[in-house]
Amino acid sequence: MLPDGVACYLINLDRSPQRLAAMQARLAELGIDYTRIAAVDGAQLADEGFLRHTADNRYYKPIRRGEVGCYLSHLEVLRAFLDSTARYALVLEDDCLFDPGFSAALQAAIALRDATDDPLLQWDVLKLNRKRRRWVALAPLTASHQLVEYGLSVPITTAAAVWTRAAAGRFLHAYHGTTRPIDCDLQHPWEFGLDILALQPPPVTQGDVASTIGNRKHPAHGPLAKLGYELRRLWPKLRHFGQRYGWAFIAGWLWRRQLHYRRRG
């Protein structure tokens, strides 16, 4: 069961009925009702539309059709969410696997956000998939899960996340083309006015099958392109997290694998 005010949206391509059937069974076992959002098939985009969406490339590789389709699919979810009366959107791709503690951890994370006045425990997007080696423990949620900050590297994944209405509105307003894959855009939260937290350990994993809406097989690229990309975002990244947590956080983050947050005096 989902907490009150949470709507679940499942992204699924029309040509992937087997994935839909598998997700239906998993969600039924959890007692979760959902709305299916037909994924945008990047392979079927007209050349004119694809070129329009990718005219401004801020990534270090060419944007692929699957990445445009993935981005547009998530935008469709956010529009549907804002057209609803729900306070939160649980956004799932169709290859999610749920750990036994998924429901309890999700309920606890939303209950904490609703109850706290601490701005450092408020999130705009809550990532439920993909862990990091370095993390900052912010608050316990259940006996096995906690709310964490993954800090300088937001996980590259859009498989499972919870969005607030304010975050959905800001993200939609900021979209002017697929300048980067959506999960890479979310690694630049300062550009969208977003605070992105996560659950540790992640209560969602992904199946072994390849993604159908965001194929990431790129042609070979030179290392200098990626280096330039990382250098361009280094200072904005440090400034964002330094302003949120203090510069002592940044110093510690650079030298230690695991940090435990202590409120600044």
At 46, which CATH number?
3.90.550
Q: Would 210 be classed as within a structural domain?
A: no
The residue range of the domain holding 48 is 6-205+221-260
Residues in the chain: 265
* Model pLDDT, residue 110: 98
Residue 150 vs residues 66, 90, 241, 260: alpha-carbon distances, Å: 27, 20, 10, 11
Amino acid 167: pLDDT? 98
pTM: 0.90
pLDDT of residue 150: 86
Q: For position 61, what pLDDT does the model report?
A: 93
Domain contains 31: yes
Number of domains in the chain: 1
What's the mean pLDDT in 144-160? 89
Distance of CA 35 to the CA centre of its chain: 19
Q: Tell whether 120 is covered by a domain.
A: yes
Predicted local distance difference test score (pLDDT) of residue 261: 43
| 255 has a pLDDT exceeding 60 | no
The pLDDT value recorded for residue 263 is 41
Question: Is 213's pLDDT higher than 90?
Answer: no
User: In percent, how much of the chain has pLDDT > 90?
Assistant: 74
| 227 falls within a domain | yes
In this predicted model, what pLDDT tens digit does every residue of 62-83 receive, in sequence order? 999 999 999 999 999 999 999 9
CB 131 within 8 A of CB 201: yes
* Side chain identity at residue 120, one-letter code: L
Average pLDDT (197-223) is 73
- Give the pLDDT confidence of 182-209 residue by residue, as tens digits: 999 999 999 999 999 999 999 999 986 5
In a domain, 1, yes or no: no
Could you give the 3-state DSSP secondary structure of residue 188? coil
Kindly state whether residue 213 falls inside one of the protein's structural domains: no
pLDDT of residue 1: 86
Contact predicate 73/39, CB 8 Å: yes
Mean pLDDT, all residues of the chain: 90
In a domain, 159, yes or no: yes
Residue 91 pairs in a beta bridge with 9, 161
pLDDT at 210: 56
pLDDT > 50? residue 265: no
CB 77 within 8 A of CB 11: yes
User: pLDDT tens for residues 80-132?
Assistant: 999 999 999 999 999 999 999 999 999 999 999 999 999 999 999 999 998 88
Confidence check: pLDDT of 136 > 50: yes
The answer to whether 45 and 107 have CB atoms below 8 angstroms apart is no
Average pLDDT on 4-22 reads 97
In a domain, 216, yes or no: no
